[in-house]
Structure 1
C-alpha cells in the first residue's frame, strides 16, 4: 500500500490553524488581556429572519409524511433554488440555464472538487498572494503550480501576457485577501487569453455581493465569451451568513468543452457519483435569500459590514497607513507600518493593541509586509479595534 506523498509537500499547518494556536498561547499567557479578532473571515450577524423562517417551515415539513423529503431528486439541487439563482443572475444581465447551476455545501469544497475534471498533467496558475486552499488543493494532487505576482504595481490584480503559460487559472474577485476587484474590461482580457490558450478559468465569486462601484464585475459571465472558458463558484456564506449552515453553488456552462468533452456533463457525472446534495431545509433557507424580503434583510447585513470596513479604513487614514480593499470587499489589505514583516506585525499588534489580524505572508511570498483585517466583526468591537490600532501605530517613531 502506498499513500499520497504529495501531502508531505504541504505546509505543516493551515494558515488559520497557526493563527489560532498563536492566539491561544498568547491568551493562556495573558488571561486578563481582552483580544479582538479581526482575522478569520467568519460573519457575526445572525441569519436573516426570512431565512430562519424558511428553515423552520422546511424542518416542520420533514416531520410529516405528506411533506417529507428524502434523497434529493437531483444532485444538482432542487429546482426552486436553481431557478432563484437563475433569476438573481438575470437581474444583473447574465442569462443562465438552470442545467448550468449546481448546488453545493460551499465554495471551498467545489474549488477543490472541480479538479477532478482535469488531468494531473496541467499547470495551475494562482495569484500571489492567494487564498491558501487554491494552492493546497493542487499540491495534494501533485500538479505544477505557477504563481502570478499580485502587488502594488498591478493593483494586486495580475493580468495575462504573451509569456504566461498555464491550463487552469484561479481568479478571485473581489479578492481574498487583498480586496482588489477586477473590472469587466480586465476580465475580458483574461477571457480572451483563456480562449486563445484553451485554458479554463476557475472564478471565485464568493464576495460578489460586496461590489457596489460601477464598472466592476460581479460575475465573469458579464464578459462575452466567458461561458466558453470559465467556471464560476459562489457561496451563501458571505451574502447570507451561511458559514455554519453550508450552502454554495457552481456554474458550469454548457458551452464549456475541452478535448471534445462537455465539462458540464462531466461535473454532473462527478456530483452524482461523489455527492448526495445539500439538505432540503438548507436549500429552502438559501432560496429565501432571493425573495424580496430576504434581499432587503441581506442588504442591511451587508451594509453593517461595509460600515465596519469604513471604520477601519478611517483609522488607517488617520494613521497614514496605505491600504486597499474595504469598499467592494469585506477585507482591508494594509501595508505593515514601521517596515515590519507580516508575522512581526501580527505579534506586535497582538501584544500592543490586543487585536488579531492575518499576516499577508501567509497568503504567499508577495504578501510579505502586508496584513489583512476583516470587517465581519461586531460593530462596537470593530470600532474599539480601530481605535486601538490607531493608538498603537501612533506610538511608532514618526516616519515609520
Structure 2
C-alpha cells in the first residue's frame, strides 16, 4: 500500500456507527458525526498485523484407547467413500452396487399393510400404545418360537426381540465385558471383531499378520470346506459363528455343528450363532444351532428379518438366550442379558413388530420365500457368470453371496480394478479378515436388470 502523507490532516470526522470503540454516548438511533482530533505524526506505513494462532478448546476427557485400535474405517462406510470418489471422477457413470448386502426389492404388501394399520392405529385412543416390553411383544415372541424353533425346547420367554442382529451383537459384547477372549471365523462379518476391539477384549492390531492380539482367528478355507479345524483352535470364552456364512456363503452341516457344540462344552465356552441367512438354505443343513443336542447349554442365537423381508431399513431382529445357559457361577445368562436390554434399550418399535408378526403369518412366509427365491436366482446368474470365466467360485447355494477367488492378488486391488473398469461395486475379501485376502464378495441383492448388466460387464473385463 502506498505511503500516506498526513501533514495536512487536521480534524477528521468519523461515523460513530463504524467506531464502536469510541467513548460511550447516550443511545441515538441515527448516525452522528463526531469530531476527533488526530495528531500529526508524519508518514504512516501499513504493516500487516501478526497472525494470531487459532486455539481449539479441548476437554480433559481421554479418548477411549480401544477406538484408536480400530483400523481405518468400518468396511462398508469405506466402500461407500470409495464409491462416492469414483462418482466424482466419473459423474456420468452408471454405477451398480453389488457390494454392501442391502436388499433392493420392495417389502411384500401383506407385511407393509400390517405396519400401516398399526401406524394408523396409533392415532386413535383404542390403537395407541407407548412403551412396550423391552423383550418384545408377547405375540411376536411366541410366533418366532413356533416358526423357527418348533419342537426344539425354545420358548417365547427365551426370545428377545430387537432392532436387528447387528445391534444385538454389540449388546452381547456389553454383556460379556472386557475380560473375555473371543474366537471368530476367518473370514467373517467384521462387526464381531470391531465390537470386540471397542469393548477392550483385544490387543493391538498386528500389521504383519493383519490380526488383533487376543483374538483366535479360526481359518476357514476352500481346503477345509470353510469349517475350521477345531483341533488347532485354542480355548476361548466366546465363539462367534455364522452359518450360512457371510461372506463365504458356506453353510455348516449337522456333523460340523455337532463338533462345534462338543468343542464348546469341552472348553466351557459360549457360542454366539448368527443365523441371519438361514432361510436361504438350500441344503439339508441345520437352520438353527438348537437343532444340535446340547446346544441350549452352550449357545446363544441371533437372527433378523433384514434379509428375509427387506427390513434392512425397518430394523427388526431377535436373539435367543436359553434358560439352560449358565455362567461359571451358575447364574443364568438370560437374566443378565435381560438387564442389558432393559438398561440400554426400550424395545423394538411397535410398528416393525406388527410387520414381523405379519411376516410369520402363512401369507407372510410365502411372500418372504418368493423374495428370497428372487435373490437366489440373482445368485445363480452371478455364479454362472464367474464359472464361465474360469474363476473358482464358492457360496451362492445357501446364501445371497458369491465368493470369488483371485489367487495371488490383493482384494482391494481387485475391488479397485472392477470399480474402475466396470463401474460395479463389490466387496474386498480382506475386509472380512486376513483369510479373505485374494477373494471378493459379490452380493446378489440387486434389481435383476442391474445384476444382468453387471455380469455383462464382468464378461467384458475378464473374458
Please indicate, yes or no, whether the TM-score normalized by the shorter chain is above 0.5.
yes
CA displacement, residues 74-122 of structure 1 (integer Å, 9 cap, x when unaligned)? 211001100110111245x433111100000000010111122224221
Distance 2:426 2:248 in 1: 13
> 8 Å contact 1:159–1:190 — kept in the other structure?
no
CA deviation after TM superposition for structure 1 residue 163, in Å: 5.1
Q: CA RMSD in A?
A: 1.3
Distance 1:36 1:120 in 2: 40
- Counterpart position of 1:107: 165
Question: Are 1:84 and 2:84 counterparts?
Answer: no
CA deviation after TM superposition for structure 1 residue 265, in Å: 1.0
Match for 1:176 among 246, 266, 270? 246
Distance 1:164 1:106 in 2: 30
Q: Secondary structure at the match of 2:146?
A: helix
CA displacement, residues 343-392 of structure 1 (integer Å, 9 cap, x when unaligned)? 11111111222211000011111111000000010111101111211221
Distance 1:122 1:88 in 2: 33
Compared CA separation, residues 64 and 163, structure 1 to 2 (3 A)? closer
Determine which structure has the larger helix proportion and give its number.
1
> 8 Å contact 2:174–2:199 — kept in the other structure?
no
Larger Rg: 2
Count of aligned pairs between the two proteins: 390
Q: Secondary structure at the match of 1:372?
A: strand
- Counterpart position of 2:331: 261
- Counterpart position of 2:446: 377
CA deviation after TM superposition for structure 1 residue 164, in Å: 2.1
Match for 2:192 among 128, 134, 154? 134
Q: Secondary structure at the match of 2:196?
A: helix
CA deviation after TM superposition for structure 1 residue 157, in Å: 2.0
- Larger RCO, structure (CA 8 Å, separation 6 or more): 1
Match for 1:118 among 147, 153, 176? 176
CA deviation after TM superposition for structure 1 residue 269, in Å: 1.5
Distance 1:272 1:347 in 2: 44
CA deviation after TM superposition for structure 1 residue 66, in Å: 1.7
> 8 Å contact 1:39–1:358 — kept in the other structure?
yes
Contiguous gaps of at least 5 residues in structure 2: 1-60, 202-213
CA displacement, residues 102-146 of structure 1 (integer Å, 9 cap, x when unaligned)? 000000010111122224221110111111111110111111322
> 8 Å contact 1:204–1:234 — kept in the other structure?
yes
Contiguous gaps of at least 5 residues in structure 1: 395-400
- Counterpart position of 1:397: none
> 8 Å contact 2:216–2:234 — kept in the other structure?
no
Regions of 4+ moved over 6 Å: none
Match for 1:210 among 280, 284, 289? 280
Match for 1:51 among 111, 116, 130? 111
Distance 1:151 1:184 in 2: 19
- Counterpart position of 2:51: none
Question: Are 1:97 and 2:167 counterparts?
Answer: no
- Counterpart position of 1:312: 382
CA displacement, residues 237-273 of structure 1 (integer Å, 9 cap, x when unaligned)? 0011100000000000000001211001111121112
